[in-house]
Structure 1
Amino acid sequence: MDQLEHHLLPVNGIDLSLYSAGPVTGRPVWLLHGFPECWHSWRQQIAPLAAAGYRVLIPEMRGYGQSSAPRDPAAYDVITLCADIQAAMDLLDQHEVCVVGHDWGAPIAWHLALLEPARVKAVVGMAVPFGGRPKQPAIEIMRQLYAERFHYILHFQEPGVAEAEMDADLPRTLRMMMHNTSAAVPRDHFLQEKPAGAGLFDGMQDPGTLPDWCDPNAFAQYLKTFEGRGFYGALNWYRNFERNWQRTEALAERQIEQPALFLLGDMDPVGTLEAYTLKQMPKRIAQLEQHVLKDCGHWIQNEQAGQVNQLLLDFLSRHYA
C-alpha cells in the first residue's frame, strides 16, 4: 500500500480519482467498488495482484471520495458510469484490460464487457450476477412486489429522504451497513418486514463495533469517502433503473463472450434475492466460471480475502496472462 500512486483524471466531464499500484508495464486490472464502499475495500487484493505483475487500477467511482459527484441523479446511469472508466482507459492508452467489480461495481464490469468486447479480455463479478436486460425496469417489479412493504431500494428513490437518515451520523450508518449482510448477520435487515414509509434503520440497533473484516484504519478510509459530502452521490446510482433500462436497449440481445468469473458468498442475501438471475447467467455468459465461498456474506473480498485472491489470481493466470 506504500507504493500506491494517486491521480485525478479529467474524463467524461468529471474528475475521476484513481489509485494505482504495480508495474506500469503490467497488464491492467481494474477494481471497481460498490455501495457503500470505497477504493480501500480492495485493500487486500492490491498487493497480491501487484506482486503477480499486474498494473492495478482502483478508482473512486463517480459520487465517491475525491471523484466528482454531480447533483443530478440522471448523471449516474450505467452507460455514463461505464463511460467514466472507458475514458480513463483511453487516457491511459490501455487497449487490453481485465475488469473486476463488487456489488454495484459488478454491473459496471458486466456492462463494460458488453460494450468493449475487444478491449475487455476477461471480467470478474462479485456478489451481483448478470442475467441480461430485464423485460421491464427492475424498479417497476419492486414497486409491484413491495407496494405495502418496505424495500430499501424504493426508500432510496426520493432524493433527500435516505440522505437525511444516513448523513446524520456517518460512523453509525457505515457500522450498520457493514454488519448487515456480513456472514455473522446473514439476514438482510434492510428487507425485514416493516411497512412502506418506514425509515431505513427502523428496527435496527447500532452494533457499536466494527465487523471482524474491517479494522479501525480501514474504517477511517470508508469514513473519509463520505465526510463532507454524505451519501447523495452514492445513492444516485439507485435512482436510474428506468434510465438504465432505456439506455441499454442496444445491448439487450448481446452475450458476454469473454472468460468470466463470478464469486458469491454462501450467506450473502443477494444469492436469494437474485436466484432467478443466477439461473439465467449461464445463458448470458458464454464462458462462465462460478464459485460459492463458504462462511461468507456480502463483503466477499474482505470476509474471505484469501480465497478471493487465490481464485482471482488463478483465473487471471489462465485467461489474462
Structure 2
Amino acid sequence: MVDTNGIRLHIAEEGEGPLVVLLHGFPESWHSWHHQFGPLVEAGFRVVAPDQRGYGRSDHPDDVDAYSILHLVGDVVGLIRALGEDKAYVVGHDWGAPVAWNTALLRPDMVLGVAGLSVPPPFRGAQPPLAAMEKRFGGRFYWNYFNRPGVADAELARDTRTALRKIFYSISGDAPDTGEQPLVAPEQGWLATMTDPDVLPEWFTEEDLDALTESFSKGFTGALNWYRNLDRNWELTAPWHDAVVTPPALYIYGDRDPVPAFPGAPELIARLPDLMPNLRRAPLELAGCGHWTQQERPAEVNAALIEFLTAGSWARPAG
C-alpha cells in the first residue's frame, strides 16, 4: 500500500531499474498486467502496477468529483515520488491510457516515455464528450448509460462474475465482430446484448476471472465515477487545448477493438504521426486482437514495449 495524493493505492511491484508504471482500465485491476511483469523485469525494469483509485484494494472516495483526470494524474505523479523516483515510463490500457497520456501532457518533466493501448491520445475535441455522444446517439451510447447514478452500478454488481465474463468475452477478438457502436437500451442494460461464453478464451482463465471478481468486491461505483467526469475533464483541460504530447510515445491497438472505431478515432489515429512529435513508430495495429490488448496478445505487446523502453539514448538517462 502506498500513500499518494491524499489516498492509499494498492500496488503490485517487482524488479529493479528504471521505473515503469502500468495503469489498468475498466473494468480491470493491476492483475491485467500479469503477463508483462516477468518480461519487463527481465529486460531490466522496476515494474509497478497499481489498482487505480476506485478499484480493488485501493481507496474508493465517495465524491464523484474525486475521480477527475486531474485527480488521476495526481495519483500517478504522487506514486512516482512515493516510490522514490523523479521520473518514470508510464503505460496505460483503456482508461489507463488517457491517464498515461495526460500525465505525459501535464507533467512531461516526469515522464521518460508514454505508451497507450487501445485508447489513442486524448486530443481535446470541440464539445464535451458526454454531451456530444448524447446528441449523436440519443443517449444510448454506453458512456451516457454509465453516467446515470446507480444504474450501471446495480446492473454490474448483481452477478459480478457473470458480468465480467460477458464483458471480457464480448469485446475481445474471440467474439463475433458486429461492427456496431456500443449502444445501450437503458431499460435492458449494458449486458443485455453481450454473450456469456460456455468456455473462456485461452488468454482469460478461470483464475484470471477469480482475481478480477475479487477486485470488485466493493462494487463498481468508484470505477464508473471515472465516466461521470468526462465532461468535467473536458472543462478542466481547456488550458491544454491543442497541446501535444511531447515525451517519446507508443500507441498499440487491436483491429477488432471497438474503441479505435469510436466516432472520430480512426481519423485521429491516422494523424498521430503528425500530432505527436516524438511518436517512436507508426501506430501498431494487432490483427485479430480485441479490446484487452496486453492480455490477448502478450508476446507482441511485450516485444513492442521492451523495444520502446530500451531503444535509444533517451531511454537510459545518465544517473
- Bin of the TM-score, shorter chain as denominator length: over 0.9
1:286 maps onto 2:277 in alignment: yes
CA drift at 1:279: 3.2
SS in 2 for 1:258: coil
Paired letter, 2:236 = R
Output one character per residue of 1:11-65: Cα deviation in whole Å (capped at 9) or x when no partner. 1121111111002xx0000000000011011010001001111000100000001
Paired letter, 1:218 = D
Aligned to 2:196: 206
Once residues 184 and 15 of structure 2 are traced to their aligned partners in structure 1, the CA distance between those partners, rounded to angstroms, is 47
Paired letter, 1:231 = F
Once residues 267 and 67 of structure 2 are traced to their aligned partners in structure 1, the CA distance between those partners, rounded to angstroms, is 26
Which of 223, 228, 231 is matched with 1:242 structurally?
Answer: 231
Once residues 286 and 64 of structure 1 are traced to their aligned partners in structure 2, the CA distance between those partners, rounded to angstroms, is 33
Which of 96, 105, 112 is matched with 2:87 structurally?
Answer: 96
SS in 2 for 1:179: helix
SS in 2 for 1:255: coil
Which of 122, 144, 147 is matched with 1:157 structurally?
Answer: 147
CA drift at 1:179: 0.6
1:15 maps onto 2:8 in alignment: yes
TM value normalised by structure 1: 0.92
Once residues 207 and 91 of structure 1 are traced to their aligned partners in structure 2, the CA distance between those partners, rounded to angstroms, is 42
CA drift at 1:294: 1.3
SS in 2 for 1:80: helix
Aligned to 1:71: 62
Report if the CA contact (8 A) 2:170-2:195 is conserved: no
> Greater share of strand residues, 1 or 2?
1
**What count of residue pairs does the alignment treat as equivalent?**
310
Structure 2, unmatched stretches of 5+, are none
Paired letter, 1:81 = L
Report sequence identity in percent. Answer: 38
Equivalent positions of 1:23-62 (< 5 A) are 23=16, 26-62=17-53
Structure 1, unmatched stretches of 5+, are 1-7
SS in 1 for 2:48: strand
CA drift at 1:107: 0.2
Range moving further from structure 2, 238-247 or 100-109: 238-247
Equivalent positions of 1:101-250 (< 5 A) are 101-147=92-138, 150-185=140-175, 187=177, 191=181, 195=185, 197-227=187-217, 229-250=218-239
Paired letter, 2:191 = F
Report if the CA contact (8 A) 2:7-2:59 is conserved: yes
RMSD: 1.8
